[in-house]
Structure 1
Amino acid sequence: MLYGIGCDLCEIAHLEKSLTGAHAAAFIRRVYGEAERAALSLDEPLPAGRSAAHRLASAAANFAAKEAFLKAAGTGLREPFSLCEIEAVRLESGAPSYHFSGQTADWMQAHGLAARLSLSHEGGMALAFCTLETL
């Protein structure tokens, strides 16, 4: 049974400022989990060109995935959730999926929920759509 749905848009250029600004390292640690940071090489400087554009679009899609989850949960960003505990990862097939840790994983288990995720980016925007379903 459907528990909640959420969607979010993220402007890639706006996120780029957060990832390259003076407080980028703190922002990255607060928002992105370890698996996301590794997959997107967020702890390394962004190179110029197509590679950087793809990394930025993926980082924006991951950010939108976090916001979409919070909307589906119906809580917004408050306890027990932490953005870095809500990770958007890619399966071997390339399909996006959520990975939860810490109190967020505990909340999902306590509520008996499974999450589904769809991501897209085009024209300077990234989109995420999340559904939460009872197991």
Structure 2
Amino acid sequence: MPSSCSRWNTAAPSERRSRTVTRRYREGLSDKSLMDLARMFNNIVQGWINYYGRFYKSMLYPLLRRINRMLVGWACQKYKRLRRREKRAGELLAGAARRFPNMFAHWRFGLKPDGWAMGAV
């Protein structure tokens, strides 16, 4: 049984909550549009940005990059022409981010998909 101190030492979005969001990206969302995904997850992600962006911003970036990677995986599953073409799926999302920069909360925050790099230096 964990000690009571260990449960208060969480400085990043809870692992359970982040796994819930990323699991939903994988589970049968190929029938949803990009706008539907934005509606489903923006409240959760905006809450993380509001809270953790103020106190522990460096821990927030890897999580938001992971959401971008999950969106690339969603595009590969949804569109048959993008299967096994992650670079093209990333370019598709980068184009969507240029056209609709406020669609996802983490895109407004500044972590937009940049084609293949997806935030890498």
Q: TM-score, normalised on structure 1?
A: 0.29
Higher strand share: 1
Pick the structure with greater CA Rg: 2
Higher helix share: 2
Q: TM-score, normalised on structure 2?
A: 0.31
